[in-house]
Structure 1
Amino acid sequence: MERFDGKVALVTAGAQGIGEAVARRIAAEGGSVVVTDLQEEKVRGVAESIGERALALRVDVTSREDVDAAMAAAVERFGRLDVLVNNAGGCIVSSVPEDTTAEEWHQQLDLTLVGAARCIQASLPHLVKTQGNVVTISSVNGLAAFGNIEYAAAKAGQIAMTQNFAARYGTLGVRFNVVAPGTIRTPNWDSQPGTLEKFKSFYPLGRVGEPEDIAAAVAFLASSDASWITGLTLPVEGGVLTGPGLFDLTPSGPFYKEYDV
């Protein structure tokens, strides 16, 4: 499929994991991609491996100057901007909620929520021209109580922000949607060996997600296939929101039923 022929996307935090997979998916479907990250060497490697339809930029989403410059560079290089993928963010608060300082709250919100807002503000003049769209990577933590309170609040804020932008700019043809991943196998988990294996049991589909699972959802929402979808939050989460642990589905459990497959 070539759903992004002639289109240009800017992907934040694209040096690895979900962002890298999204950039590669859009490029594979014919699009040009501007891949941004703080990890300058890594993001350059991603862009070089994609080829001439990719541009790498070092961008800090907590800097409006960086974000404005990235949007300008995208349009200068490729002539337009059709898609913004807000992927930058992360869980940066390590203290227990009772001890979280105001500074830590501000740091978390500035990176994950306000950072996404900065990128939207800077991209809007270009997206109005192309009747483009924004896909923001939130999390199931923004939809249910999985802990990491500060991170969850920022992710829930992304969802509310998206709904409001969708209502405000729909008449101008600009769409705003959210993908809410569950646990995804990214390099962020490398320092916690065995954790992803343990998390498998929380998911009815029996595995954690892969970056490509999220990239597929983003590519759909960002494409013309989703031209009548806006303000949506699409959970891509292997069934974890159905209530992990509520039912005993082991072969000896009361809710188990054998099926011939």
Structure 2
Amino acid sequence: MADAKRFEGYGVLVTGAARGIGAAVARRLAEEGARVLLTDADRAEVERTASELREQGMAAEASICDVADRAAVEAAVAFAVDAFGSLDVLVNSAASCTSDTPLFEDGTDEAWARDLDITLTGTYRCCRAALPHLARSGRGAVVTIGSVNGRLDFGNQAYSAAKAGLGSLTRTLAGHAAARGVRVNLVEPGTVRTSAWEGREDELEALRPLYPLGRVGEPEDIAAAVAFLASRDAAWVTGTVLTVDGGLTAVHAGFKATARPRAAL
């Protein structure tokens, strides 16, 4: 548990908070004193996660929210403001990732649209609904969960295109929101051990040597980065991408292991 109470008195909304990164973010901010509204399209799971936090003495509420539904997003924001008296931080973690078809041309419009609608447009909907309240708080911050998929080809074309779009949205919204006292930043994770990898531990182990720091990420690694960007410790940081990927995109570990480059004679 974090020792600092950087978010004492803060009202926070986290989307995609039923499990994985979103749940870890909600826990980290609640540990640091925030009152957190966990939202997700999975009612049972998000209520279970919020209940666990409350049982451990943290201030947590749960709300069903499909970020593809504008009315549901606006209702979740209103719920947070009513419950906490203010909304100070929005964390966009909800996403959709559809497996690629063997041939690109076999992909469907429906799958493409779903990944973009939830991952990119859903974030837009949440920011649009939350921004007036974040501006009124005097310490408003938006932190969105991107992905290294938005920069390099790791597959999942629609998801990757949506995550790349989040980088652009972060920059343009940061430019608009700065004058209103709201900071907007993006965390860009590499591979993170979440429920999406259950039953695929052998694949995670195969990926480990590709990471210079020797392991894949844990949800708590991403939560720590979000907590920094959402806090006043990052008061002069906006419009930036914080890559949290164990060195994956900085060092081509596979190439180095194969080529074994030698010093020039």
TM-score with structure 2 setting the length: 0.92
CA contact (8 A) 2:77 2:130 kept: yes
2:106 to 99, 110, 124: 99
CA contact (8 A) 1:82 1:130 kept: yes
User: What secondary structure sits across from 2:204 in the alignment?
Assistant: helix
- The alignment covers a number of residue pairs equal to 254
User: What residue in structure 1 maps to residue 144 of structure 2?
Assistant: 136
1:43 aligns with 2:51: no
1:109-258 alignment to 2 at 5 Å? 109-131=116-138, 132-242=140-250, 243-248=252-257, 253=260
User: What secondary structure sits across from 2:52 in the alignment?
Assistant: helix
CA contact (8 A) 1:247 1:255 kept: no
Tell me how far apart the structure 2 counterparts of residues 189 and 136 of structure 1 sit (CA, whole Å): 22
> Amino acid of the residue matched to residue 227 of structure 1?
A
Percent identity, aligned pairs only? 50
Tell me how far apart the structure 2 counterparts of residues 142 and 210 of structure 1 sit (CA, whole Å): 19
CA contact (8 A) 1:21 1:211 kept: yes
Greater shift in the superposed pair: 196-205 or 144-153: 144-153
> Amino acid of the residue matched to residue 212 of structure 1?
E
> Amino acid of the residue matched to residue 40 of structure 2?
D
Residue 95 of structure 1 and its aligned partner are, at CA, apart by: 1.7
User: What residue in structure 2 maps to residue 22 of structure 1?
Assistant: 25
User: What secondary structure sits across from 2:117 in the alignment?
Assistant: helix
CA contact (8 A) 1:209 1:238 kept: yes
User: What residue in structure 1 maps to residue 80 of structure 2?
Assistant: 74
CA contact (8 A) 1:138 1:179 kept: yes
What's the CA shift string for 1:46-98, capped at 9, x where partnerless? 11121261110111000001100000000111111000000000312432422
> Amino acid of the residue matched to residue 73 of structure 1?
F
Unaligned runs of 5+ in 1: 257-261
Residue 129 of structure 1 and its aligned partner are, at CA, apart by: 0.3
Residue 244 of structure 1 and its aligned partner are, at CA, apart by: 3.0
CA contact (8 A) 1:135 1:179 kept: yes
Residue 233 of structure 1 and its aligned partner are, at CA, apart by: 0.4
What's the CA shift string for 1:208-260, capped at 9, x where partnerless? 0000000000000000000100000000000100223121289xx5569xxxx
CA contact (8 A) 2:208 2:214 kept: yes
TM-score with structure 1 setting the length: 0.93
Distance 1:42 1:255, change over 3 A: farther
Unaligned runs of 5+ in 2: none
CA contact (8 A) 1:142 1:154 kept: yes
> Amino acid of the residue matched to residue 215 of structure 1?
A
What root-mean-square deviation, in Å, do the aligned CA atoms of Structure 1 and Structure 2 show?
1.6
Tell me how far apart the structure 2 counterparts of residues 233 and 28 of structure 1 sit (CA, whole Å): 24
Tell me how far apart the structure 2 counterparts of residues 58 and 244 of structure 1 sit (CA, whole Å): 41
Residue 191 of structure 1 and its aligned partner are, at CA, apart by: 3.9
What's the CA shift string for 1:19-66, capped at 9, x where partnerless? 110000000001110001112111112111212611101110000011
Q: Which runs of 4+ in 1 moved over 3 A?
A: 253-256
Tell me how far apart the structure 2 counterparts of residues 65 and 233 of structure 1 sit (CA, whole Å): 29
